[in-house]
Amino acid sequence: MRDETAIAIRGVRVIDPYRHIDSEQEEVWVVNGRIAPEPIKNLEAKVIDARGLWLVPRLLDMHVHFREPGQTWKETIATGSRAAAHGGITAVAVMPNTVPVTDTPELVEWVQMRGRAMGLVDVLPLGAVSVGSQGQELADLGRMHESGARGFSDDGKPVASARLMRAALSYAKSLGSVIIDHAEDPSLSEGALLHEGRMAHRMGLSAVPEVSEASMVWRDVLLAGLTGGALHIAHISAQDSLEALAYAKAKGYAVTAEVAPHHLLLTESVLEQWGYDPVTKVNPPLRPEKTRQALIAAVAKGLIGVMASDHAPHHADEKAQPYTDAPFGISGLETVVSSLITALIAPGHLTPLKGFELMTTGPDQVLGLRYPGLCAGAPADLALIDPERRWRVDPQDFYSLGHNTPLSGMTLIGQPLFTMVNGRFSMREGEVVDAGISQVS
């Protein structure tokens, strides 16, 4: 037993949605990277006094942009992995809108391999739906699936052609995979910078109505019904999209949806504070309060089953351009867990167990993963979170290269203090630990 490494986490509240367990005053042992069946006598362990903390297994952010290959000034797989570890996250699904677009099995493997080499977070690649995400020709979903692609999306762009979307849903169905839908009608949204409402009007900026998203969600829900394919709506943000989602559920279609934290915490009114600073520029745009309330209600009643950051880092110089020219996106990996607590758990919309389903079992099911939860023998992927700690967001503290967030200066509730991947700390008391990490397969 001499070369075993053991960590005992004492006095912790275990919140494990994978096993439907919420239990106080637990003692969890991690031995050689895995959860041990019970406290082990005669084994020397590093002890963590975790009284007052929450232990949540394998938090999965299923919508992030790591920009590699191609745009490494915005983010790399290494910097994105550090950001994830800092944020309490142990698995991420990375979007394929890289340069070149991740639309081949070789690129899917490359992204996966780079993630493994970094070893801080389980990097799950997503492949493009269409070649180059150009919306013309279906990409080779089958070979990408064989190479490890967990789903397919042209995220950043919609699949404008219904014919192509139909084919993609049928193809994904045959693979047991999922199409992740960036729902937007380009004929309505072209050139738009903001939500079509009060602030766009006041600021004189071109804007897009919610119909742009909702009409595409309705189209794709109907196509999911037609094909039987699995459809996941990314960053849902329109009231009528929720109607389509409810319809899909009533019909028994394989349709799921995710909400981004900024659509739950912020509204278009935040532009009063930021003015023409494109830190608020994101696609889909920040919506009015009525929509924010509808999204919260939809999460509370289980219609939306996933929260994902849509982590979209950009370089400071790019975001320093005028509103019209700056790229869309918010850097969200290091605030997503706290956002979940602040927006949904702390105000009592969801219990902690239900709340964390949005970043555990929810995305796990969408991507067809099977993490068993904190049972004996499971890889020790977990976060220790201080649920009471209030902290002020300062993007200068981010490990991400992208400091672009309109949450900057806001006080959030709850903070991840430790992240563990395969039994080793990837983050300890706010510091990312990236030396000597190795994977247990």
* Interface ranges with ligand DOR (CB under 6 A): 65, 97, 155-156, 182, 282-283, 312, 327-329
- CA 19 vs CA 15, 235, 302, 353, 354: distances in Å: 9, 27, 18, 10, 12
**Residue linked to tokens 């969890």:** 28
In degrees and rounded to multiples of 5, residue 392 shows phi and psi of -95, 130
Q: How far is the CB of 67 from ligand DOR (least distance, A)?
A: 8
Provide the H-helix boundaries in 182-288: 186-189, 198-203, 211-227, 239-251, 261-265, 271-274
User: In the complex with ligand DOR, which residue's Cβ is closer, 65 or 86?
Assistant: 65
Say whether 317 is catalytic: no
Q: How far is the CB of 65 from ligand DOR (least distance, A)?
A: 4
In degrees and rounded to multiples of 5, residue 201 shows phi and psi of -65, -45
Structure tokens at 258: 């995710």
DSSP 417: E
User: In the complex with ligand DOR, which residue's Cβ is closer, 84 or 417?
Assistant: 84
Q: How far is the CB of 309 from ligand DOR (least distance, A)?
A: 11
Q: How far is the CB of 316 from ligand DOR (least distance, A)?
A: 15
Strand-pair category, 411-421 with 382-392 = antiparallel
User: In the complex with ligand DOR, which residue's Cβ is closer, 247 or 328?
Assistant: 328
User: In the complex with ligand DOR, which residue's Cβ is closer, 125 or 329?
Assistant: 329
Structure tokens at 182: 């960036």
**Which residue in 155, 185, 310, 381 is the catalytic one?**
310
Q: How far is the CB of 232 from ligand DOR (least distance, A)?
A: 14
User: In the complex with ligand DOR, which residue's Cβ is closer, 210 or 357?
Assistant: 210
Q: How far apart are CA 255 and CA 219, in angstroms?
A: 12
Q: How many CA atoms lie within 13 A of 367 on its CB side?
A: 32
Residues labelled as active-site residues = 310
